[in-house]
Amino acid sequence: MAFSMSEELLPVFVPVIVYWIGAAIYQLTLCPMEQYRLFTKEEEETQNLATRRQVLVGVLINQAMQMGLATLMFMTGGLVPTGSNSAQSPSLLRVVGQMAVAMLVMDCWEYFWHRWTHENKFLYKHVHAMHHHIIVPYTYGSQYIHPVDAVVGEILGGLVATLVSGMSPLTAAVFFSLLTLKGLDDHCGMWFPNHPIHRWMTNNAAFHSLHHQHIGIKYNYSVHYLATWDLLLGTYLPFSVEPRKDGGYQLQTAKDQ
């Protein structure tokens, strides 16, 4: 019973641990590399509307709330799909299939919720604007979001993705940990030309950094790995990443010209 309970709680606690380990790696080893920054330190210091201390406290409070709610759901069986059995190990092919289904569900859920929080003036002002107080993104600001964003976008979206895909708690822990790492990278404010995600995927750190700028705030709503709905519904803003004269990189769009 003790082992079963601990496995059910893996999706609650493992992604949070991954979040802070990943954030520490970025902040201590990667972000100090000036030659890869998409924004200057001066831009970060003058443009952001929330201090790093406020962001840190906000993330910790948000994660505590999410862990509390998710723990209640998992312990009462609310997030365990019908028929899932932790004693039976699914095949690798089945796990990959479940993650693919969950990703499609999360992609759709997050896009339309995220877009609504931008296009509905009340939701933007009272809910989503909190996240956009970080205009120049940095890694651990990834989960600096309003509690309503956390509950509707993250917890309910994760619940639906878990149930639809039929993932076990262990698979869900891996899945949400991967999403956590992608979220950290999306908010790192860096551009690594040889990074596989930065180089080959449409939805990358530059894609999301552009969304945090005034020019891109009504575009690039997609979260996580895909940009499907932006491309289908015309909310994708094309851009390029160009070397900055004094070092590092900068974002350019047709609107800048």
- From first to last of the 257 residues of the chain, give the pLDDT tens digit: 444 446 778 888 999 999 999 999 999 998 889 999 999 999 999 999 999 999 999 999 999 998 888 777 766 655 555 445 545 678 889 999 999 999 999 999 999 999 999 999 999 999 999 999 999 999 999 999 999 999 999 999 999 999 999 999 899 999 999 999 999 999 999 999 999 999 999 999 999 999 999 999 999 999 989 999 999 999 999 999 999 998 999 999 976 65
- In this prediction, residue 90 carries a pLDDT of 80
Strand partners, 122: none
Calpha distance 218→235 (Å, rounded) = 7
8 A C-beta contact, residue 184 and residue 19: yes
- Residue recorded with tokens 């759709």: 108
- Chain mean position to CA 189: 13
- In this prediction, residue 153 carries a pLDDT of 93
Calpha distance 62→97 (Å, rounded) = 30
pTM of the predicted protein model: 0.91
Position 246, amino acid: D
Calpha distance 243→47 (Å, rounded) = 21
The residues, ordered by sequence, that sit 6+ positions from 43 with a Cβ below 8 Å of its Cβ are 136
HEC sequence for the chain: CHHHHHHHCHHHHHHHHHHHHHHHHHHHHHCCCHHHECCCHHHHHHHCCCCHHHHHHHHHHHHHHHHHHHHHHHHCCCCCCCCCCCCCCCCHHHHHHHHHHHHHHHHHHHHHHHHHHHHCHHHHHHCHHHHHHCCCCCHHHCCCCCHHHHHHHHHHHHHHHHHHHCCCHHHHHHHHHHHHHHHHHHCCCECCCCCHHHHHCCCCHHHHHHHCCHHHCCCCCCCCCCCHHHHHHCCCCCCEEEECCCCCEEEECHHHC
- Residue recorded with tokens 């005034």: 214
8 A C-beta contact, residue 185 and residue 179: no
Position 167, amino acid: M
- Chain mean position to CA 216: 17
